[in-house]
């Protein structure tokens, strides 16, 4: 079974990401709420610790209750410049132009979703892989906010119906 580390901000830092990747899993760097220059530093620190594949997780939301976007075009540019091959989005669906830019660079785009509607929006945006976040997941639960929280065992079959051949992973 594939093991993918959760890209939790403040916790999934270079040492943990590299350890997961070096052990045969897929480490995912928790890059939010860092500014672009800091995301680049974290990516480079991770690369210094592993030659293996790892991803970068970007939480697409507004920070600090002030309407400050957590992800900007510069975050996407950093991922492209650093040749990141897997970029995972969480919370809100990424902008299609971000997905297109990442695809053009050779990256896969993943999206963590908590509902069928969230999965449909991600697919419409061009996302390659869906990660279904069950109600038992740790951290921020999008399904609770949406009022759609389901245990992973109930959510995944519903998501599978709309995944249309995409890889579907379960979290929670």
pLDDT band at 136 (very low <50, low <70, confident <90, very high): low
What pLDDT score does 64 carry?
A: 59
- Predicted model pTM: 0.91
How far apart are the C-alpha atoms of 56 and 137, rounded to whole Å?
A: 19
CB 56 within 8 A of CB 7: yes
């Amino acid at each position: 079974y594939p093991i993918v580390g959760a890209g939790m901000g403040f916790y999934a830092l270079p040492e943990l990401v590299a350890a997961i990747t070096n052990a045969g899993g897929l480490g995912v760097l928790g890059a939010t709420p860092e500014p672009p220059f800091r995301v680049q530093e974290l990516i480079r620190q991770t690369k210094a610790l592993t030659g293996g594949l790892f991803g970068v997780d970007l939480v697409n939301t507004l920070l600090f209750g002030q309407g400050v976007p957590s992800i900007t075009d510069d975050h996407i540019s950093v991922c492209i410049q650093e040749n990141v091959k897997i970029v995972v989005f969480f919370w809100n669906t990424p902008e299609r132009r971000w997905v297109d830019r990442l695809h053009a660079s050779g990256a896969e785009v993943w999206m963590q979703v908590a509902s069928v509607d969230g999965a449909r929006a991600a697919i419409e945006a061009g996302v390659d892989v869906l990660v279904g976040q069950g109600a038992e997941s740790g951290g921020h639960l999008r399904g609770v906010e949406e009022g759609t929280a389901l245990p992973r065992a109930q959510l995944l079959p519903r998501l599978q119906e709309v995944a249309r051949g995409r890889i579907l992973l379960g979290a929670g």
